Amino acid sequence: MSTDNLIVISIDGLRASALGAYGNTWHQTPAFDALAAQSTVCSQLLAEHWAPEQFWSSVWGPNADGSRQSLPSHALELGWRSLLVTDDATAADLDAASGFETADIVPPSDLQAPADSVEQTAAAATLSALLEAIELTPGDRPLLAWAHLRFAAGPWDAPLSLVDDLRDDDDPEAEPSLLPPSGALADLAEPDDARFLATLRYSAQVVALDRCLGIVLQALPEVLEGRPYRLAVLGTRGFALGEHGRLGDEYRPYNECRQLPVLLHRSQEPSHARRRGLLTNADLPALLLGEEPSPRKKVILHAPKGGAVQDEHWKLCVPSDAEPELYSKPDDTWEMNDVAVRHRHEVEELQAALTDASTTANAKPA
């Protein structure tokens, strides 16, 4: 494990498709773009489960077979300091978070409507608390500092001015609400408008987050007093914006919610690279520690109803109440073109693999 300080910023509901490194061109994210240009970008890191507690168990907790300590416990054993800063009290209360030496829960704001400025948002408050915690921590030992943001799972508090910057005069106007959009499009009176406004508001959230990240990137060298550091910025799950008929929570294993953006930066060796192999959230501890996880041959994605399996060339989604869907990988990143009717053999092979592996861990190369 490197002795560089390790700073991690995890963000609930950050879609990979919202960032330029993963193809976004609709809204501007200069801080994310600048960071990605000097980072290793994981192109296909997938969340095996939707539920946050399962994500945190795999990232903060020990290996299921006991071969690896929890990440905070490992840092403590090596003599590191560790701290957690979050506006998500539920995450801080999990057993998996107990290994951090200190945990600072940022209280919710009293905003009743979207913020007047980016500085008033929940993301700004949490990241400001992170910088303050780092600055107050003695620098005599390496530091693991983790900030987790509720982001899309919390209040949508981006200033309405950012929403207005993204809309044309003849577009529908967004209501001044803090509530995230949710529900099936089929149940809404104006599904097209609902999807457009959800996308507009989500983009404003990302733009506000990007400005907060820019402040962090500028401040880190100063608060760390020039000490070398590694910075990881990652999503913990995505957010559905109507691609497959839903807004918000999407328990089905589509990529708008299961592909996680992961940017890994080293202050002493800033350079751009891409990891294109299949990875999952279970590989994050190794990546954060600077180790080399082996790309997976297949990944199993679990869901309350149905599931999915992905290999190098294909992803098969098997809903419990519908026909299997097949998508070409990595070309059809966001799973818009179901080709199951044209590739029956691949459907049968992957369906058999999903059945065989439904209760086992993801297969890795021998």
Per-residue model confidence as pLDDT tens digits over 197-207: 999 999 999 99
Residues paired with residue 233 on neighbouring β-strands, in sequence order? 9, 263
CATH number of 5-294: 3.40.720.10
Weakest mean pLDDT among 14-23, 58-67, 104-113, 234-243:
58-67
Residue 229 has pLDDT above 80, yes or no: yes
Numbered ranges of CATH 3.40.720.10 in the chain: 5-294
Determine the pLDDT at residue 363. Answer: 46
Q: Cα 349 from chain centroid? A: 30
| Residues present in the chain in total | 366
CA–CA dist 329, 61 (Å, integer): 31
Q: Give strand ranges (E) for the chain.
A: 5-12, 39-46, 81-86, 102-105, 143-149, 183-184, 229-237, 240-241, 246-248, 262-266, 273-280, 299-302, 307-310, 314-318, 325-328
pTM: 0.95
What is the token pair recorded at 328?
């070409």
Determine the pLDDT at residue 62. Answer: 85
